[in-house]
Structures are given as C-alpha cells and as structure tokens.
Structure 1
Amino acid sequence: MKIKIVSLVRSLFTGACAALFVTQLLAADSPREHLSLDANWKFHLGDNWPNALHLDKAGASGGPASEKFNDTAWRSLDLPHDWAIELPFDRTSDTSHGFKPVGPGFPKNSVGWYRRTFDLPAEDSGKRIWLQFDGVFRDATVWVNGWLVKRHEGGYYPFREDITDIAHFGGQNTVTVKVDASKFEGWFYEGAGIYRHVWLDKTAPVAIAPDGIFVHTEFNDNVPEGPASICIETRILNPPTNSRAMKITHKLIAPNGNGIAETLPNFEPLPPPALYAKPVSKSQEDFRQMIVLRPNLRVEHTPGVPFRLPRMPRYQMPKMDFIGGFSPPMETQADIELWSPESPKLYKLITTVEVDGKIVDRKETEFGIRTFAFDVTNGFLLNGKHYELYGTCNHQDMAGVGAALPDALQNFRVAKLKEFGCNAYRTSHNPPTPELLDACDHLGMIVMDESRLLGSDEENLRKWESQIRRDRNHASVGIWSVANEEFSVQSTPQAGNVARTMQNLVKQLDPTRPVTYAAPQGDTFDGINGVIEVRGWNYNVGRQMESYHAKHPTQPEVGTEQASTVTTRGIYKDDAQRGYVSAYDARGTQTAERWWSYFADRPWLSGGFV
C-alpha cells in the first residue's frame, strides 16, 4: 500500500502580511521550549485570605496574590498534588467522595493556595510565554507577578494563558493559584488541588498555535486498502505587526524511525507590497500558488481556481483564517503499518516553521494510521473489520494517591487492563489527562473520550472544543462521548438540540470519529437518543434492545456501561469486619455474566464497557 500525503494547511493568524509556502525540512532543533513547572511549589491549606482578590485596579490583589508575600512558612511540595487524599477519613463526609472531609460542609478543608517562582533569562525577551495547567480541581484563580490572569471553573479541563506582557525577563516571576474545591462536580472521588501537570511554554512570535496541528488518515470507503491519504492541518499564530515570509514543512517518520515522506509542493511568495493574491495554475502536475495574506483577511481557496482578493479598509477586515490546499499530493511506496491494540504502531509528524530562512518552531506529533467506524450489522469496526470491544469504565483516581497520579501509574493501569484481556477504556466521566492517552497510544487501548457535562452554552462548547483539539491526534481515541446519564433532561427536545450541537462540533473539528451518548434508557428514541450517531446502552439487556434495534435499523449501537459489580480482588468470601466483598460475580447493578452472554451473540451491539 502507498501513503499519499495530502498537504492541507490551515493557518490561523492573529493578523499579518505573510506569504505561505512549503520547503524542505532543515535539520535544526526547535526554539520551542516545553518546561515542567511541577517542582518546588509552596502550599497552604485554608482560606486565610478570603479578600485577596481585588477587582478595582490591575495588580492590586493582596495576600498570597501579591509578589511580596512571604510564603516561607508554607509547606513545600511537588505536583501533581491532591490534598483531599491526605485528609483523615470522616464518617460525616460524602460517601461517594471517599469519606474525605472536603467539599460542601467542610469549608476549612476546601480551599488551598499554591505559590511558585521561576526565572526568565533576559534573552527570552521577544518570545511568547505561555502558562498551562492540565487540570485543577476545582475552581482556579491564577495570578502572575501580582496580575490576575485567569479564573477557571471546572476540574477536568486544561487551561492556558499567554503571560508574555506581564513577565519579568531577566528576573524572577511569581505564580499564585487559589484552588476552591467547595463544590462537587461528580458523584465519585474527585480530589482537590493542582492534580495534573503545569507547564511553561516558550515560543517565537510566529509559532504553531496551541493544539494547532491535526493529522489524520483517509482511505476510500474508510477501509485501509489502497493508498492512505495523510491529511494535515496546521494553525499558526502570528502577531498583528509581523510582516514576513513564512515556510511550513511536514515530514513523516515511520514506526521504525525512518523518514518516509516530506511535503514538497512548489510554492512561491508574492512580494510584500502586493495588494492582491493571484494564484497561478499551470497543470495538476506543475502547480504554483502565489499568495500574500493581508492582515485580518479571510480567504478560502481551492487549488487551481483563480481568485482575487478585494480591497477593503483595514478597520473593516475580519479575523483572517487562511485555508489552503497544496497540490498535487505526494506519494511514497512505504508499506502502511496499521495501529491496533494488538499492534500499536505509531507514526510521527515533524512540523517545521521557518521565517526569513530561520527555523522558529518545530513540533513532533505522534499519530496512528487506522480507521474507526460503526456498522449497523457488524457493530464496531477497526480498520474495516468487526472488532469486539472488551472495555472498562475508569475513574481517574487510584488508591494511595487519589487524583494525583504519577505518569508511571497511567502506564501501569493500562498494562494491567490489557493483561486482563481488555482492549478499550472509557474515561468515565470526564476528559482524561494527556498521559493516560499516551499510555493507550503506545500500549494499545481504544479510548472512549468523554465530556464532563452536556451543554451547548459558550463556555461548555469552549471546553468541549479544547478537549477535542487536544486529544484528536491520539491514535487510541476511537469514539467521542458527549455526556453520561443526564437523567433529568435526556428525553427532552432541548437535550436533543444540545447533543446535536456538541456532535456537530465534533464533526467540524474531527470528521474521522463517531459520537455517542451513554444512555441509561430502554426502548426510547426521544431527546438525545434521537439525534446521536451511535446509541449507547447503560445497564439494559434484553427485549428492549431487540425492539429498539428493529425500530431503528440505521443507527449503530454500543454498550457504553453494562455492569457494575462490587468485589475485592482475590477474596472469595464476604468479611464485613475487614471490609471485604466476595470477588464472585454476584453483587452489583448488573453482573458481567448476564450482559456479556447476551452481547456475545449480537455483533451489532459492538461489545461494551463495564
């Protein structure tokens, strides 16, 4: 099989006069720095400074938010950190949150403060500086050098902020984070604190946007036979005052480490003073496209079709988002190595950005060549063939460390599940940490990537979009889930509208994967079930499934959550004194034996998750 590189580039500028073209990759290290800020934090439990936040003037917040605050008496620790797991058990606290005295009713234990300093050398002046949090439970208020930079609500989504303007170059910088875990978000153990990684990113002014690369594979009829088209989209950030020629190159690396292809279309820039973009097309084999992108101008263009950009006053120009297709596609004779749980082969895409002959950014993106789909008769399809899902629904915490898992435990968990015979992992019921997806990519595990909450309001869609953009390059992510068990609204027309909007956003950002909803319902086609691409089944086995399948023969189905049994592994007799529960499949909402014996005879149900 051949691999065909379809060099689709999507470049997002914050405003620039720039020429876009592709050239050969130069061997050089990227000036991008991705630095961990996990070490050397100071921590204080308790809200001794409830009025620290001042909104009247910039940089006026007091207490720990002030640069001059003395935190020497605070506890020293490294991230990730979950202070809830450190609290003593309390019988009066919430059962589903592990009997830990945090959240509603425990205000003294529900607010924590973190502080850290870091230095920026003077030579970093002129770079763009980003502060990124992978996850904080639950609400975070962030100050940098006394400036309020972020107020983030929600315990499972990443957030970042460009802190370039307020950074001290050639000096010390102070980050302060107030974490408020007073409100529960789930009905399971959630922890409290900065429980995922924190990063400092340094880039050139012209750089690949955060989560700005999307690489996916296309085959005819979504079956991996014949040539594979590797489709690439790249988003570039460029400051409004910048006006320089830019080159973007993509290089493909095979699982064995050998370079097998580069994007080498023939692009030439128009000189900067040009007022119009004038593509020149000769033939499909010899295509030249000359484009100058004026500040804040939007252009959509199909290769080979002449167009001319209209003049307009600068103040009328909208944000520019250039979408260009490079032609012809490049082909290589390299054999395709498909990704699967049994053979998790990963390719690498190296994207290089060059400005005025100098490499300003370089980023590596791992991905897999494979196809995911659902068929109404044969259920889940991996690489065009029926593939039974033996999945588990997993919360993110683990005994002893709570929600603050070291990266090695992500690999340990996935490896153990594979030993048990599992091939699929549902991130119940929230976006996962990136390191979990890395483990699933490399060890081989198909992931159902789930949103925390159903919602089409601006904030929820922003979070949903950030989750999709962050996770869509992972080979392991096989299906998106818009929500889980929205009991009070799931059957309403409004919930159907919301689910449709969330599903449409998936298809806009990632047309390669199906979408589901984990529905605790029977033979009902209203609300969410009536609009969702793949019907999900929670805790329902038997005649209602048969009836639903007969009534809706064009809708694929999957067991999103089928058994919930309570056991103590290796113990085969109940012991109330020690808290042991027999490991026999006898106690729970629905036993594994009952649901699996039913699903095994019906491939259209695709297998499922327990």
Structure 2
Amino acid sequence: MFIMKNGLVALLVLMSVYFTQAGNRIIYTINDGWRFAKGASFGAKAEKFDDALWMKVNIPHTWNNLDSDDEIPGYYRGQAWYRKSVFVDKNKQNKRAFIYFEGANQETSLYVNGKFAGEHKGGYTRFCFDITSLLRFGEKNTFAVLVDNSHNPDIPPLSADFTFYGGIYRDVYLQFTEPVHFSTNHYATSGVYIRTPKVNEDEAVVDVTCLISNDSDSKSKIILENVICDASGREVEKTTSTLALPAKKTVTEVQKNIRIKNPRLWDIDDPHRYMVYSRVYNKDDFRLMDEVVTPVGLRWFSFDADNGFFLNGKHRKLIGTCRHQDYCKKGNALRDEMHVRDILLIKEMGGNFLRVSHYPQDPVVMEMCDKLGIVTSVEIPVVNAVTESQGFLDNAVFMAKEMIHQCFNHPSVMIWGYMNEILLRKPYKDKKKLEQYYLDVEKVARTLESTIREEDPSRYTMMAYHNDPDSYEAARLTDISMIQGWNLYQGWYEPDINEFQRLLDRAHRTYKGKVIMVTEYGPGVDPRLHSYSPERFDFSQEYGIDYHNHYLNEMKKRPFVAGSSLWNLNDFYSESRADAVPHVNNKGIVGLSREQKDTYLFYQASLSKAPIIKIGNREWKTRGGVVNTPENMCSQILPVFTNMEEVELIINGKSLGKKKSEDCIAKFNVPFCNGSNTVEAVGRQAGIELHDLISVDFKLIPSDLNQHEVSFSEMNVMLGSPRYFEDRKAGAVWIPEQEYKPGSWGYVGGTPYRRETGFGTMLGSEVDIAGTDNNPVFQTQRVGLEAFRADVLDGEYSVYLYWAELDSDTKKESLIYNLGAEATHSVAGVRCFGVSINGVSVLDNFSITREYGYARAVVKKFKVVVTNGQGLNIEFSRQEGEPVLNAIRIYKN
C-alpha cells in the first residue's frame, strides 16, 4: 500500500485500473424496449417472427399488476412471450457471454436467434445461461423468452395468501468475461464464497472459496489473488496462489486461514463490511483476466432456547417485519430504488430484523440489510401444502440450494427458512390418507433440513407454523428445525388476544430446547378507517394500535422469545381477499403506496433510540364529527407517538397541556373547529425540543340542526357502524350512526348487521362490494330500520341512500387464511320494502337482490324540498323480510 501525493497521477492510475477491469468483465442490463404478448404465440421463438404489433414494455414487468384492482375474479395464469433485438459489439467476440435473470415467475425458457438456450423452474431465484455459441457479434441478436406462471403441482408454492405474478419482474442483464473467469454456472452466483470459521473481538479467520472456469481450448496457468480491504479501502490482508486450469474445466480453490487481527465487527449498530477483491491474473504476463468483489461482515451469533438471540456476544431482541415485494398498481415489478426504500423504512422504524418472506427477493434487498445492520432470515416458498411427488421434492431442494448459495455471502443472513404453515391446507379428511400425507410432508421437511445444514452448517434453520400445534406434532414437524417460528393471530382471527401469551408460554414449556420466534402477527388496518370503540376485524387504525401494543409488550416480557417479525411491512395484493380493501391483505404497517399508518409510527416511537415525536392520524386529512362541546366544537381523541417522557399538544394556537406517554403513546381530547385546524406537538427532554405539525380539514356537523351557530351543509353517515371513514378521492368523511333525538338526526329502530363466524359475531360483512372502491361504506348496515330522521331547516336537499345486500343466496368458498373468522353462511331470502320521504312514496316493493344482485353497491339520489319546519323523515315499510340501509348522505343544495 502507498499514498500518491500527486492527485493527477493518482487519478490517471485509477482510470487505468477502471478501464482495465471494465475491459475484462462487462455487465449491463437489457431491460428496455421489449415486445410482449400474452398467450402461447405459435412460432414466437423464431428469429424472424413478426412481433411489430405486440405491446412494448420495459423490465421489470408483470402482466398481473392491475388484476387485483379490477372486479373480475382471479387473474391470468398462463404463458406469455417477451422478445427483444440486442446489438452485441464485435469486440466482444473473444469473450464468454452470459444472460442473467434476477427473477421470472415461474417457468422460463430462453431462445437466442431461434435456438434453445436454457430453461429454469421457480419464480424467486436468479438464473443464468451461457449464450456464447448462440450470439452473432457485430450485429443484432433476437432474444425470445417464454414465461409461464400456470399452476404446476411440482413447483412451490402451490397456494398462498399472495398473488403469483407472472413475468420477468426483476432485472435482466448481459455479462461478458474472458474465457478464464470466476464461474457463473454454480447456481448463478459470482463463484466466490466467503466463510468465517472463527470470529471474535481479537481475531477473525476468513476462508475464500473460488470456483474458476477455463472455457478456452487450452490449459491456462493463473495467479489467484484475494485482497481484503476495510470500508475505507485500506488493504488488510492479501493472499495468492498459482493454479493450472485444464481446458473446459472448472476448478475449486480454497484459500484458508486468512487472519485479521482486531477486526471491526459487523453489528446492528455498526454494520461494518470488509471487501474481498478476488482476482485472476494470467501467470505469464500478469494480465488481469477477471475480478469479483464480495462484501463480507465479520460477526458471530447464537440462539438460546431460554435467553434468545446473541450477536457478537451481546443479547439482542430481534424485532422487525416480514416483507412482500409488492407495490400499488405495480405488483412485484419494482425498481431497485423501491426495494431500497422499503428496507430503509424498517431501519427508520428502529427495526433490526427482516423475515424475507415467503421467497428470496431482489438482490438489492439483501445488500441493504447488510449495509443497514438488519438481521435477516430468508426462505423458500414451500407454503400451505406439498405435492407428494419426487418432482416437487427435487424442485424444493434445488430452490433451497439456489437460495443458500445466492445469499451465502450476506452477513445479515442468519436463518434459512423452508416451510410456512405447511399444514394450513390439508388435502385429505380421510384419517389414513392424512396420516400418509403427514409422512410425505415430514419427508420433505427432513430432506430440506438436511440439505440446508449440509450446504451451510453455519446458520440456523427455521420452520413457521400456524396455531395448530397438534397437527404439527402429529406430522413430527415440531422437532425438525432449529428454530420454531409461530404465526399467531389471537385477537384477530381468534377472539381472545390474551391467548397469544398463553400460547407462547405453552410452546416454551412443551418444546424444550427449541428456539422460539413469533414469525407473524398483525391485524388488518385500513388507514381510512377509525373508531373510538375499536374491535377486531373493524380494520380501524385504533384497533391496530391496541393489538400491536399488546403483542409487543408480551414479547418483550419473555426473554425466550428470540425475536419477532410482524406481518407485514407493507400491504400487498392477494386476489382471493375482500375485507375493507378488496384483493389486498392490509396487515401492513405501511400501505401499498407506502403511506405510514399509525402502527408504523407506534413501532418507530417504541423502537427508535433517537428522540421521536409524531402526531398520529396524520394522513386523516379530512375529519368530521358532531358538535359535542359547549364551544360548538367536536372533541375527538388524537394520539401522539413519542419516546419522550412528556408531550404538549397545541390546537389552533391554544395549548391543551402536557401529558405523559404510556407505551410511547399520549392521547389527547382535541376540540376541532369547523374548517382548517393546525395541530402541533412539542416534546422537551434533556435539552432536546422536537416539534411535529399537521393540518386537518374538519367538517363539523351540528348536534342541533335547528340552531344557527354551526350551519348545516352535509352529513355522511354509515349505518350499523361505530366507525369513521375517509373518502380521500372525494375529500369527504363518513361518520358513525347515532340514534335519533328530536332536534337532531339519526336512525329509528333496527339493529346493526353483524356476521356470524366460528368465533362469535363481528362487525359488518367481509365481502367485496362490486361497483365501488369504498367498501366500508357498504359493508355495514342497520337491519329492520324503521326510519332515519334529520330535523334540518327548510330548503332543498339531496338525499342519497346507499345499499348493498350482504346476505348471499349462494354458498361461497371459505377463505382458509381467515382461520375460522370467516362468516358462516347466511341466506338473504326475499327482502322487499318501501321507502317514503316526508310522506311521499319514492320506492315500493324494492328488492336489492332482484334488481342488482348480491354484494353490489347501489346509490339512489332523491331531491327533496323541506317546508314548514318538517325536516327530513325517511321511512322504511316492511313488505317481505326486513328493510335495510347501509349508509345515508344528506346534502343541502
């Protein structure tokens, strides 16, 4: 090592090195300007095939990105073709050429200039093909790629609670190397593997395994060099060896026992990475032939069944999230920077753990976990069930090997996972068949366990179970993996939230010596929904906070819980779901577009070491409510999330005083006035002062419609519901129902609709309402309603009545992921009723299902002139069955 004082000389040397290296290994993407068409286009692999009328797309690309946003059940699973012409320079004709796919779902076949180049099975791992012999240098080359995301019983996953997007949804790039190069044919890796058999604070021992290919026709003598540099670029150690490479062979060379004194360790708070520069030189003229750069983190770790996780000898409670590669209207076709932002969200939240679920993800995800100090587990997509075939087992084993080798060099990876809720969908009810199925599942599990431990004995293995321990014990799965992951949803799918901690204690007592992690937990949260009487399955922000607060506190109390990964970092598409947001699993703490929900702010305040103060409900820009203070304002609860001891809240310049935070939450009763409101939170602690500010547009509804201090202009009321709903597209707010009192407004008679489930009743319906993107407005209703009255002043009004029939006349398939919380079947029967407004019949013999069918949004608007102080009186007359009303909007014209 030496220092050049002459900057110009130094720059010239660096440029020389850069261009020398660039001349030996060239890598670039070919993502832009592909032609695309769905279907099995006959002859599309041929070089001269006419694709001029095909759609032009850029990669990353999926053909399913909008399928979950429509009202058509299901999504396209089948074949599609991609074609592209690529010019390849003539000066590359003496190099080896490879094409890399970072991910294509799920079966891929490649043709180059009409000739078959290779195929790959599996949608979530990288693969590459040597295309040297198929390219024409100095001219254009035609690439034709057939991708098929059809169900294949031999390829995991068979089913899962996420959409199986088809397409080339990660980068595609070309790579050119010298004939002698680090191998590309070992599971599409760099051909370099770093092991650290010994690490402590005094010394680290590094072994570097290099696979070197000689694709030339003659033997070659080379010098292999591995240089280890620290993060500043300072050389720490260097080792070399001389090798003779036979022609057309790949040789494995291991340089062992490279010692680093007083290493700077990779840790959560200081994720220092060394860089290993692996270089191949021609022995005769010392010409650089190939180079690979591999980051390496020096750390040691362990899990203990009673005391949890230790990193570099220090106890660490792992708290973080799971993550799906999914984004609003993009599906899984995300750009690199979008993956980067997601991992930054976890770090900014204070999280230190990511369960990469349920499949290996984009390489940049692991790179970011390395850079940010986030411990990770990675798993293959063996989810819900297995196929009892050798083909399924072979593909699962191959996926496991791909995952391990492709993620091997990442210091953040400490756990390999391979099964998730594998007994959730049992294919047999017959006892003997089920017993045989258990044996087949056990065979897959034990084969994967032994494969992973053989390929990488340095890391831990994990299997994730759902809350059915008897079945997993019957299949002898609970004693196989080193870590037991438990996906627990008590207080969501099951009614008693306190069963959560009882299940944890049971697992610790029952499975002696097993490490316990909570690998999934979380409620659905629609950030548009709020409730001051929160309950499970209401999808409100407030229930989400209650739920996560309970779970986090119970896990912190138990040192044997090594870690947890809440479900999920982000909302994600799942075609089979309905709920508040159709076709979306909204258990994320951020939304599909990465809006931060209150649950994210709660974790940020709970986990961050730096001072945090964030006003909750911050995206609830349009609020509303009924006057409930003598000052003609509406007082509503507003949370402030902070890790500071005390917080002051100021509304429209007036202080509401200070409050202590409990579990990182301070709740204030805030009096909102009609129109614009400014809310400021101030935290002061140890000489630090933090401020947060939000603006709220509040729509105030008078409690007495005859008084003039607050004028009435509109109200939007959801019947049978205690919730608030923000219609963000219209800038409108829907408020809970109330019982009518003279001079005010509200319902007369009836009861809220509640669906029967295997665990008691729950609010409203979970069905997808066709014809609207405001499901919550239509998913609740008041049944047996007699009237809705509003004692408004004289004038002209528009009255909108909202309906959807929530009781089906046909039996629908139960959604297995709801684990007993699915509604039991109820039949609508015949429902006919009449509606009159101020004594005038406006609807007679009205049947929702006869005219519109089941679960379809219906809105009828009536113009009404109110005179003589009579107000509005909407009456419902029973003719057959019980009248219902889902929501009402009254607008003063």
TM-score by length of 1: 0.76
CA displacement at 1:136 relative to structure 2: 1.2
- The equivalent residue for 1:599 is 555
Change (3 A) 1:229 1:585: farther
SS class of match (1:161): strand
Secondary structure in structure 2 of the residue aligned to 1:473: coil
Flag the structure with higher strand content: 2
Consecutive unaligned residues in structure 2, runs of 5 or more? 1-16, 152-157, 387-391, 427-433, 490-499, 567-893
**1:449 and 2:378 correspond:** yes
Identity between Structure 1 and Structure 2 (%) = 26
> Aligned partners of 2:331, 2:298: CA distance in 1, in Å?
35
Measured after TM superposition, the shift of residue 365 of structure 1 is 0.9
* Shift of residue 185, structure 1, vs aligned partner: 5.1
In the alignment, does 2:270 pair up with 1:343?
Answer: yes
Structure 1 residue 498 corresponds to structure 2 residue 444 = yes
**Corresponding residue for residue 237 of structure 1:** 213
Match of 2:395 among 435, 459, 481: 459
Measured after TM superposition, the shift of residue 353 of structure 1 is 0.7
**2:203, 2:528 → 1: CA distance?**
49
Kindly name which structure, 1 or 2, has the bigger radius of gyration based on alpha carbons.
Answer: 2
Residue 426 (structure 1) aligned to one of 349, 355, 358: 355
**Deviations, residues 537-596 of structure 1 (Å, cap 9, x unaligned):** 1217344443443344322222222x1211134752499xxx993112359xx9333433
Q: 2:125 aligns with which of 151, 157, 174?
A: 157
**AA in 2 matched with 1:470:** Q
* Letter aligned with residue 217 of structure 1: T
* Amino acid across the alignment from 2:140: Q
1:251 aligns with 2:227: yes
Distance 2:372 2:57 in 1: 31
In the alignment, does 2:282 pair up with 1:359?
no
- Whether 2:194 is the aligned partner of 1:215: answer yes
Deviations 1:452-473 (A, max 9, x none): 1277733322222111111111
C-alpha contact 1:574 1:582 (8 A) present in aligned 2: no
Q: Deviations over 1:85-131 (max 9, x none)?
A: 2458433414xxxxxx323xxxxxx4432111112222322321111
Q: What does 1:312-327 align with in structure 2 at a 5 Å threshold?
A: 322=252, 324=254
SS across alignment from 2:462: strand
- After TM superposition, the structure 1 stretch with the greater mean CA deviation from structure 2, 366-375 or 452-461, is 452-461
Would you say how many aligned residue pairs link Structure 1 and Structure 2?
502
CA-to-partner distance for each residue in 1:161-191, whole Å, 9 max, x for gaps?
1111111122211111122233375331232
Moved more, 539-548 or 356-365: 539-548
For residues 181-330 of structure 1, what are the structure 2 equivalents within 5 Å?
A: 181-183=149-151, 186-210=160-184, 211=189, 212-219=191-198, 224-239=200-215, 241-264=217-240, 322=252, 324=254, 329-330=257-258
Q: 2:513 aligns with which of 537, 554, 557?
A: 554
Match for 2:459: what amino acid? Answer: R
| Correspondence for 1:522 among 461, 464, 469 | 469
Task: For 2:299 and 2:332, locate their aligned partners in 1 and report how far apart those are by CA, in whole Å.
Answer: 32
Q: Tell me whether 1:585 sits opposite 2:543 in the alignment.
A: yes
Does the CA contact (< 8 Å) of 1:496 and 1:529 recur in 2?
no
Residues in 2 aligned to 1:484 and 1:237: alpha-carbon distance in whole angstroms: 37
AA paired with 2:148?
D
Contact 1:426 1:609 in 2 (8 A): yes
Matched, 1:143 2:90: no
Q: Which residue of 1 aligns with 2:71?
A: 91
Q: Does 1:473 align with 2:425?
A: no
Q: Which amino acid aligns with 1:371?
A: W
Aligned to 2:801: none
- The CA deviation string for residues 291-337 of structure 1, in whole angstroms up to 9 with x for no partner, is x67679xxxxxxxxxxxxxxxxxxxxxx98656555xx45454x422
Q: Quote how far apart the aligned CAs of 1:29 are.
A: 1.6
Instruction: Return the alpha-carbon distance in structure 2 between the equivalents of residues 345 and 370 of structure 1.
Output: 10
| TM-score, length-scaled by structure 2 | 0.53
Change (3 A) 1:528 1:48: closer
Inter-partner Cα distance in structure 2 for 1:580 and 1:91 = 22
**Contact kept in structure 1, 2:209 and 2:254, CA below 8 Å:** no
Q: Deviations over 1:407-466 (max 9, x none)?
A: 111111111222222221112211111111122222232211011127773332222211
Matched with 2:33 is 40
Q: What is the CA-CA distance between 1:217 and the residue it aligns to?
A: 2.3
Name the CA distance, whole Å, in 2 between partners of 1:438 and 1:344: 12
1-structure distance, mates of 2:159, 2:68: 21
Q: Which amino acid aligns with 1:33?
A: I
Q: 1:246 to 1:67 in 2, by over 3 A?
A: same
**Is structure 2 residue 404 aligned with structure 1 residue 404?**
no
- 1:141 CA drift (Å): 2.5
Matching residue's letter, 2:86: F
- Aligned residues: CA RMSD: 3.0
Distance of 2:120 and 2:245 partners within structure 1: 35
Do residues 29 (structure 1) and 9 (structure 2) align? no
Given that 1:128 and 1:164 are in contact with CA atoms closer than 8 Å, whether structure 2 keeps it comes out as yes
Q: Is the 8 A contact 1:190 1:403 kept in 2?
A: no
CA distances 1:380-430 after superposition (whole Å, capped 9, x unpaired): 222222211112121110113211111111111111222222221112211
**Cα distance 1:586–1:87, how it changes in 2: closer, same or farther (>3 A)?**
closer
Aligned mates of 1:228, 1:585 — CA distance in 2: 48
* Alignment CA distance shift 1:480-1:268 (3 Å): closer
After superposition, give the CA deviation of every residue in 1:62-93 in whole Å (9 maximum; x if it has no partner).
2x211112222222222111221245843341
Q: Deviations over 1:222-275 (max 9, x none)?
A: xx33211122111112238431212111011111222221114xx566xxxxxx
Paired AA for residue 195 in structure 2: H
Following the alignment from structure 1 to structure 2, what is the Cα–Cα distance between the partners of residues 268 and 140?
39
Distance 1:322 1:586, change over 3 A: closer
**Corresponding residue SS for 1:172:** strand
- Unaligned 5+ runs, structure 1: 1-25, 53-61, 95-100, 104-109, 270-291, 297-318
Equivalent-residue separation in structure 2 for 1:190 and 1:361 (angstroms): 38
Question: Which of residues 466, 485, 490 is equivalent to 1:536?
Answer: 485
CA deviations over 1:492-551 (Å, ceiling 9, x no partner): 344333223222322333232111011124376452221211122121734444344334
> Cα gap change, 1:546/1:213 in structure 2, threshold over 3 Å: closer, same or farther?
same
Alpha-carbon spacing, 1:88–1:218, altered in 2? closer, same or farther (3 Å): closer
Amino acid at match of 2:455: L
Alpha-carbon shift at residue 351 of structure 1 (Å) = 0.3
Work out whether residues 574 and 581 of structure 1, in 8 Å CA contact, stay in contact via their aligned partners in 2. Answer: no
The answer to whether the Cα contact below 8 Å between 1:600 and 1:607 also exists between their aligned partners in 2 is no
- Report if the CA contact (8 A) 1:189-1:397 is conserved: no
Which residue in 2 is equivalent to 1:66? 46
Counterpart pick for 1:439 among 365, 368, 381: 368
Number of the residue aligned with 1:9: none
1:274 alignment counterpart: none
1:82 aligned residue (50, 57, 62):
62
Question: Residues 332, 608 of structure 1: CA spacing in aligned structure 2 closer, same or farther, 3 A cutoff?
Answer: closer
Cα distance in 1, alignment partners of residues 237 and 250 from structure 2: 30
Q: Tell me, what secondary structure is at the counterpart of 1:529?
A: coil
CA spacing shift, 1:378–1:242, aligned 2, 3 Å: farther
Separation in 1, partners of 2:378, 2:116: 32
Alignment partners' CA distance in 2, 1:429 and 1:258: 38
Aligned equivalents of 1:255, 1:75: Cα separation in 2: 45
Taking the aligned partners of 2:406 and 2:333, their CA distance within structure 1 comes to: 20
